[in-house]
Amino acid sequence: MKAVKGTRDILPPASHVWNQVEERVRQVFRTFNYQEIRTPIFEETALFARGVGAETDIVSKEMYTFDDHGDSLTLRPENTAGVMRAYIEHRLDQRPGIQKLFYLGPMFRRERPQKGRYRQFYQIGAEAIGVDSPVVDAEMIELVDTLLKACGVEGARLLINSVGDPASRKAYVDELRTRLAGVKDQLSPDNARRAETNPLRVLDSKEAKDEPIIATLPSIHEFLNDAAKKHFADVCRYLDDRGIPYEVNPRLVRGLDYYTHTTFEFLHGALGAQNAICGGGRYNGLAETIGSKLPAPGVGFSIGEDRLIMAVEDSFSEPGLDVYLAPLDEPSFRHCALLAKEMRGHGLSVELAAPTKPRRAMELADKLKARTAVMVGDNELNAGLYAVKTMATGTQESLTREQLLARIL
């Protein structure tokens, strides 16, 4: 048997990099006062159909949907809708202040697998719900910038845009629909369909053939009303204050329907075709779309953890083993078991080997990249001394228990 297409096993030592990245990320979230939310891996299909939008690629062709005795359920393709569902269900609006939530975990999309694109992939994301202010958008972008740098990602490009409030956006979509209707038969089949169902999606299509037509379409900035213009200008100003460089890209409309006002993406050069390392934006109408009576404006992002790790993997060292304990016979093995317990109590990583010959023990200590190997046999036990080898230099010494502990701690 093999892992299903588009899924993969994360084995050591790569899993060590994942853990270190997640540790760093949790620390950064704490410094921005974000708290973790864990939502279910599957939800009612309607949550995504309404929240993300029935005409998006995600909902129309990429979801893992199944029938559960008459209920239609879906493996989450993203987590913003799930977090908003939880926010509404648990009345988090009644808690003090803005709700700042982060999550880590797997998402599922039935996309064509390739480097950096999987059917089960992982996101590191955050959502700030309760306030419609450009202040929060800018801090959210700063948070991504800080997270990427804390994990060692340098040189990511930040693209930002505004898709306006629902009124400006609708005016723009109507205009696109009209303009695209005239050139429909020159478009690729996918874009010809989108030109009717969801014209915004034509803008982020990757069809090279349609590029010349797309280039003639108007910019959404011509359709933003004053409130939307001000929101966007404020976000840009707050980014300037923070010294965070960005490029305004009027074509950045993002592949999910819930966005209003700010949208943004971070791209990274080392990733090849799948170069979006993070996507996000504001979603002021999502709560109402999924059935809330109360508005709950929010803004958030998701970093593709698989892609983040691809970008930084080489800069992480392997975990390494502190001590390889090599007993040469049964009595020494029993002695070593207690020694191992004491060392582990001090937080050291210890491999306690089964009794074996000295040469074999040293070979394994070397292969396991132990920092120190300790050999214990009859002689050592009688003399109260351990044969200690520092693997990097090859030096061997006889040390008492106290000396040994002092050396390796």
| Nearest residue to ligand HAM, scored by beta-carbon proximity | 304
Smaller CB separation from ligand HAM, 53 or 125: 125
Q: Does 51 bind ligand HAM (CB under 6 A)?
A: no
CA distance 251 to 227: 20
Judged by CB under 6 A, which of 44, 55, 111, 313 binds ligand HAM?
111
Binding span for ligand HAM by CB under 6 A among 37-45, 272-280, 355-363, 380-388: 272-280
For the record, the structure tokens of 401 come out as 């228990």
Task: Please enumerate, as own/partner, the contacts of 200-205 that have beta carbons within 8 Å and a separation of 24 or more.
Answer: 200/163, 200/169, 200/172, 200/173, 200/176, 200/253, 201/55, 201/56, 201/57, 201/253, 201/255, 202/176, 203/176, 203/251, 203/253, 204/251, 204/252, 204/253, 204/254, 204/255
Smaller CB separation from ligand HAM, 264 or 386: 264
Q: Does 121 bind ligand HAM (CB under 6 A)?
A: yes
List C-alpha distances in Å: 102 to 32, 35, 148, 158. Answer: 11, 6, 15, 21
Residue 101 beta carbon to ligand HAM: minimum distance, rounded to whole angstroms = 10
Q: Does 34 bind ligand HAM (CB under 6 A)?
A: no
**Radius of gyration for the alpha carbons in the chain, expressed in angstroms and rounded:** 28
Residue 380 beta carbon to ligand HAM: minimum distance, rounded to whole angstroms = 52
Smaller CB separation from ligand HAM, 202 or 252: 252
For the record, the structure tokens of 133 come out as 């202010």
Binding span for ligand HAM by CB under 6 A among 113-121, 147-155, 187-195, 371-379: 113-121
Q: Does 297 bind ligand HAM (CB under 6 A)?
A: no
Q: Does 231 bind ligand HAM (CB under 6 A)?
A: no
Judged by CB under 6 A, which of 16, 24, 26, 117 binds ligand HAM?
117
Nearest by Cα to 286 from 253, 264, 261, 266: 261
Residue 6 beta carbon to ligand HAM: minimum distance, rounded to whole angstroms = 8
CA distance 194 to 251: 15
Residues 305-324 contacting ligand HAM, CB under 6 A: 306-307
DSSP 7-61: -----TTHHHHHHHHHHHHHHHHHHTT-EE----SEEEHHHHIIIIITTSHHHHH
Residue 290 beta carbon to ligand HAM: minimum distance, rounded to whole angstroms = 14
Q: Which helix (H) or strand (E) holds 371?
A: strand 370-376
Q: Does 278 bind ligand HAM (CB under 6 A)?
A: yes
Residue 50 beta carbon to ligand HAM: minimum distance, rounded to whole angstroms = 15
Interface residues with ligand HAM (CB under 6 A)? 78, 80, 109, 111, 117-118, 121, 123, 125, 127, 255-256, 276-281, 283, 300-302, 304, 306-307
